[in-house]
Amino acid sequence: MKKRLFSAVQPSGNLHLGNYLGAIKQWVTLQEDYEAIFCVVDLHAITVPQDPATLRKKTLEIVKMYLAAGINPEKCTLFVQSQVEEHTELAWVLNTISKNGDLTKMTQFKDKSGMDFERIEAELKAALVDIAYESSGVPGRTKDDFRILVMKSGKNIIDIFQTMKEDFNSVGTGLFDYPVLMAADILLYDTTVVPVGKDQMQHIELARTLARRFNERFGETFVVPEGKLSTEGALIMGLDDPSKKMSKSAESVYNSIALTDDAETVRKKIKKAVTDSGSEIVYSDEKPALQNLINIYTLLSGKTKEDVQTMYQDKGYGDFKNDLAEVVVNFLAPFQERLKNISDEEVLEILKAGADKAKRIAEQKMLAVRKNVGFLS
């Protein structure tokens, strides 16, 4: 039997080349080798405010893009998360064995909330060191002097706690807790393999931890999944900043190439893409911007890095960018043609069939969970 694979994407923002090259392109291959389950995680999307009409529209759009890219519902299970209610039921059960410490260490929570306990701890220690340093070894210092000093330095500590309190209280519970729902998504299907980028491995580790914790407390129930680190195209960086990944939520429109961009938009974005000093076309860590563009070229054209370097041995950035733009345009044209021919009705039919198939698996798993936890049947 094939190993079971689970992967998902949120229906927010516009999918771009980084999404395709870093994930979807590999899923098309993986669906041949695994029992693949692909999910549009709309429950995750609402951890930040969403317009309901836009959310519905984006959900359909994302599925159409999956299909246009080569995801085949005859070879995989494709569905929307909210249509299989066992996801939320299992998430609640897993919440009861999760610890706040499991979640506060999550990088995305730290980034979006400002709640970095390691940083806060360092600031508190520094404030206490200031108090100890200022109050020690000074002849003639009285208790009143020390009290004034602590009140003065202690204000820094109070400020730190106040900021921490404000940051934590302003963050939605969904943002804090969504890694548990992500673990439920994975564990619900006895997933053995989860393809992820390096930035998501932390979430896979949480799913593994919760699976082991549940099994130890209630008996063997869940498969402990393995993260499959994406390599090909895993780090497609922003066209405007090669130090950061291409992002759906980037402020600049010149950060990414959307899968729906027309030819002229693609050419304009590639032309404006940042490059490194010099003009030689070489694949080098010392030229991260050019390295990123060459990665895009090779992944879409099938040529090797060596091929590209040879092709542009006596040419400059201008020639390379012009040709890269055409490589991207030639990839997007047939993709967009397929996308245009997929109807909402076709998508809804595929999603219903996928949800029915996923639900059959999820129901069986939740029967075992309920029994092992001690719920009445």
The two tokens of residue 106 are 């999550």
Catalytic, out of 25, 245, 321, 365: 245
Q: Which residue has the tokens 């360092």?
A: 122
Check if 303 is active-site.
no
How far is Cα 255 from Cα 39, in angstroms, rounded to an integer?
26
Q: Is 79 helix (H, G, I), strand (E, B) or coil?
A: strand
How far is Cα 339 from Cα 341, in angstroms, rounded to an integer?
5
Check if 64 is active-site.
no
Q: What are the start-end ranges of the H helices in 136-237?
A: 143-170, 173-187, 201-218
- How does DSSP assign 22-89, residue by residue? IIIHHHHHHHHHSEEEEEE-HHHHTTS---HHHHHHHHHHHHHHHHHHT--TTTEEEEEGGGSTHHHH
How far is Cα 185 from Cα 200, in angstroms, rounded to an integer?
14
In the structure, how many helices (H) and strands (E) does the chain have?
Answer: 16, 5
For residues 159 and 105, the answer to whether their CB atoms sit within 8 Å is: no
Catalytic, out of 3, 105, 112, 359: 112
The two tokens of residue 43 are 């429950």
Catalytic, out of 3, 105, 110, 248: 248
Check if 75 is active-site.
no
Residue 193 pairs in a beta bridge with 5, 226
Report, as residue numbers or ranges, the catalytic residues.
Answer: 112, 245, 248
